[in-house]
Amino acid sequence: MIPAPSPEALDRKTQLEIQKLEVEVQRAQTDRQKAELEILELKRWHRRPAVLQSIAVIVVAVVAAIIGTANGWFSTRLDSLKLEQEKVQRDIDDLNKGRSTLNAQIAILQAERDELQRRLSDAGTEADRLSKTVSSLQIKAAEADRYKQDLRNLQQELAKVSDQAEAAAKRIPETNLVQMKGIVKDQTTRMGIEGASVIILNGSAFTSYTDSNGYFELSRPPNPGRFLIGIAKLGYINTAVEFTASRPGQPPSEIYLQRE
């Protein structure tokens, strides 16, 4: 299919045709002036013989007819070109309107494209953040598994030490034992921590576990008088504190653990 010429090309073509037609009209007007001069010259022949006068009349009539026909043809042609120019101008106006509408639609599509690119960029940023979060959680999960294994190992060791301590305690008269009482609490919530292991680190090892309120009791020989107590619980930082034997009527000492 042959593409239609652009409005600018049609307008230039029309202008060229009009310019050519104006040149032809000027040329016709010049011929007309020449013919009028010849008619004036022929009119002077009226004083000449009758045969020449008749010839002059015929020539004048023929020239006048030719000039009239030329003027009519050029006038018709000029009107036709003007109508064609008006049609081309209307087509140009319609194309300009269509181009304006198309430009508006292109602007809307470009804005939608920019918005989509922004959303894709935000989605990529969010995906990167989630990927980093997942990686961090995986690392923490691996650390938690390691802590659980360490805790299981520690609990097994504490169980052995506890058995040894109980066996040793049976060989010691109860009158020679001192009581140590305390409550293990969460440093943030101030609530008791259940299931925390409590062990005497200096001297013979004695072990206990906190109840649902975080309360524990330990019994051991009185020496050395001040004891180093270790407290461990999964999810908390292991803590060691100095402890003295509880006097009768003395409230249990409070020990606070900080979360990891």
Residue-wise pLDDT tens digits, 209-246: 999 999 998 876 655 567 888 999 999 999 999 877 76
108 and 15 fall within a common domain: yes
21 and 97 fall within a common domain: yes
Which of 66, 93, 114 lies at the terminal end of a domain, its last residue? 114
Q: Please say if the pLDDT value at position 168 is more than 90.
A: no
Phi, psi at residue 179, to the nearest 5°? -100, 135
126 within some domain = no
- Please indicate whether residue 211 or residue 90 has the higher confidence score (pLDDT): 211
161 within some domain = no
59 within some domain = yes
Integer Cα distance of 161 and 203 in angstroms = 12
Q: Which of 98-102, 104-108, 219-223 bottoms out in mean pLDDT, i.e. has the lowest?
A: 219-223
| Containing structural domain, residue 79 | 7-114
Integer Cα distance of 231 and 196 in angstroms = 7
Which of 77, 98, 114 lies at the terminal end of a domain, its last residue? 114
**Whether the Cβ atoms of residue 169 and residue 179 lie closer than 8 Å to each other:** no
Give residue 239's pLDDT.
Answer: 92
136 within some domain = no
Q: Please say if the pLDDT value at position 47 is more than 80.
A: no
Q: How many CB atoms lie within 10 A of CB 210?
A: 23
3-class SS of residue 12: helix
Which of 72, 89, 114 lies at the terminal end of a domain, its last residue? 114
* Helix or strand (DSSP H, E) at 195: none
Q: Please say if the pLDDT value at position 17 is more than 70.
A: yes
CATH assignment of the domain containing 252: 2.60.40.1120
Give residue 172's pLDDT.
Answer: 47
Give residue 232's pLDDT.
Answer: 93
Give residue 218's pLDDT.
Answer: 81
Residue 254 in tokens: 């409070």
17 and 88 fall within a common domain: yes
State the pLDDT confidence band at 25, using cuts at 50, 70 and 90: confident
32 within some domain = yes
- Whether this model's pTM surpasses 0.75: no
Integer Cα distance of 212 and 218 in angstroms = 17
pLDDT tens column, 114-152: 998 899 888 888 888 888 888 888 888 888 788 788 777
Number of alpha carbons in the 13 Å side-chain half-sphere of residue 235: 6
Give residue 213's pLDDT.
Answer: 94
140 within some domain = no
Q: How many CB atoms lie within 10 A of CB 115?
A: 10
3-class SS of residue 146: helix
Give residue 175's pLDDT.
Answer: 47
| Segment 30-51 mean pLDDT | 70
180 and 110 fall within a common domain: no
Query: Of 184, 180, 178, 213, which is closest to residue 197 (Cα–Cα)?
Result: 184
Give residue 48's pLDDT.
Answer: 57
Residue 113 in tokens: 């494209």
**Whether the Cβ atoms of residue 215 and residue 255 lie closer than 8 Å to each other:** no
119 within some domain = no
Give residue 8's pLDDT.
Answer: 64
Mean pLDDT for the chain?
78
202 within some domain = yes
103 and 182 fall within a common domain: no
Q: Please say if the pLDDT value at position 98 is more than 70.
A: yes
- Please indicate whether residue 42 or residue 156 has the higher confidence score (pLDDT): 156
Number of domains the chain contains:
2
